[in-house]
Structure 1
């Protein structure tokens, strides 16, 4: 059965990449969550998508220019009533010890090469003994290879925007057990072939009914969606299949 990962948490209805969005995704019944990590000026791992804090918080400037104690003062819930800080990865992993969710950690090091970020993330995943529930993904495939070499026990999955020829061959060559393509960049045939070659396929960001139906119909490994509630509803009829 296709798993449902909540993209930046239940971000269709709650502030993205906040503990509130993660908790609500879990309550809704998602199989996993997806989140993004970056480093503060003093080397703390924080959960935020953009390189700048402007769009999602009350502040402005680059994540890398804030000290951890400064970034924690910002409100990451601009639209809501309740103030929410930018979570630390530690906070999320501690919470994960209370549930059975899977978690896709996207390393946001495509534009800013955060020195040592992979090592810090891996160290925490091992500390909380969550190796079998974490998938590390990135558009920076050098980072994916490095992560695999540092921690072969943690699944890695490169992210793609464009289609790639025989993605299972590429994945095997970099020892990745999964791929996270843009949903429109892969045909049913390529997805099925990839899965048949032992590589998990988790397309992003799948929000339209038709796209969800297409992927549930071919029993894709997982989808990454902003709206886990809608995805769970659409998945229901497919759950009865043998």
Structure 2
């Protein structure tokens, strides 16, 4: 009897060890699955990794690339003499040491400005980059999400963007590594006609919180993405966008909690100032 009891005790210990090992393996598998799901999330560095470097500068774009973002997002406008430059505001006042509207300044005037010191002394001397410099610097290295900023101020900007892409043979399908978007939806229709093989997106502010299925279907006739303000994103909106055969990249996540929320809502990508937030989603069972 003692021998049988010892055998049973041994078996119990062995089963406990086995159960513990199995539980650990299950936990590891859960973690692996979570990581795999996490890797499907498209990580878009907003104006470059703008939480770490001055927005829309080569330093910010390089930082986004180094942080392994899938795309760098850039804002494109046009100078008085027709040069395409990357800057968000329609004036240079906030992000440079100059003043005036982008469209009232020549490229040479804008090029003389310091676009980095406002963010930190270590970025003193950063310049406003040209659209072509960004394309040449990052094509083949990371995706580029191009926002046409206030294109109604710059007649012909859609054609100029198209020319720059075609000149570099970047207008052909290449794993969707070029996307063009704008709040000006008419501009996106024009751009799509010029570049039919490049995915396009419509940006949507708070006023689109109650967008209808019919409106989404209309967008889908020329757009591949519906990219809204993150505050209007719901499970229903995500489902509606997907039902219209579009993808959804909300903007702009600036905290880990905001990234978590968007992840849980099932969006396809997150436009963020901090690319590292998209890589830190916790394990969900």
Q: Which moved more, 1:35-44 or 1:120-129?
A: 120-129
Q: Which residue of 1 aligns with 2:150?
A: 109
User: 1: distance between equivalents of 2:140 and 2:220?
Assistant: 33
Match of 1:208 among 237, 240, 255: 255
Q: Which residue of 2 aligns with 1:134?
A: 178
When the two chains are superposed, the root-mean-square deviation of aligned CA atoms in Å is: 1.7
Greater RCO structure (CA 8 Å; 6+ sep): 1
- Matched position secondary structure for 1:233: coil
Instruction: After TM superposition, give the deviation of residue 98 of structure 1 in Å.
Output: 4.6
**CA offsets, 1:162-187, max 9 Å, x none?**
321125313223x1011110011121
Q: Which residue of 2 aligns with 1:189?
A: 236
Q: Which residue of 1 aligns with 2:227?
A: 180
Q: Which residue of 2 aligns with 1:123?
A: 163
Q: Which residue of 1 aligns with 2:54?
A: 15
- In the alignment of these two chains, the number of paired residues is 235
The TM-score with structure 1 as length reference comes to 0.91
Structure richer in helix, relative to its length: 2
Partners of 1:30 and 1:232 within 8 A in 2: no
Q: Which residue of 1 aligns with 2:24?
A: none
Q: Which moved more, 1:125-134 or 1:88-97?
A: 125-134
* 1:231 corresponds to 2:259: no
User: Which segments of structure 1 move beyond 4 Å, counting only runs of 4 or more?
Assistant: none
- Matched position secondary structure for 2:153: coil
Match of 1:26 among 39, 62, 65: 65
Partners of 1:192 and 1:220 within 8 A in 2: no
User: 2: distance between equivalents of 1:231 and 1:103?
Assistant: 18
User: 2: distance between equivalents of 1:97 and 1:194?
Assistant: 29
User: 2: distance between equivalents of 1:210 and 1:168?
Assistant: 28
Structure richer in strand, relative to its length: 1
The TM-score with structure 2 as length reference comes to 0.78
* 1:5 corresponds to 2:53: no
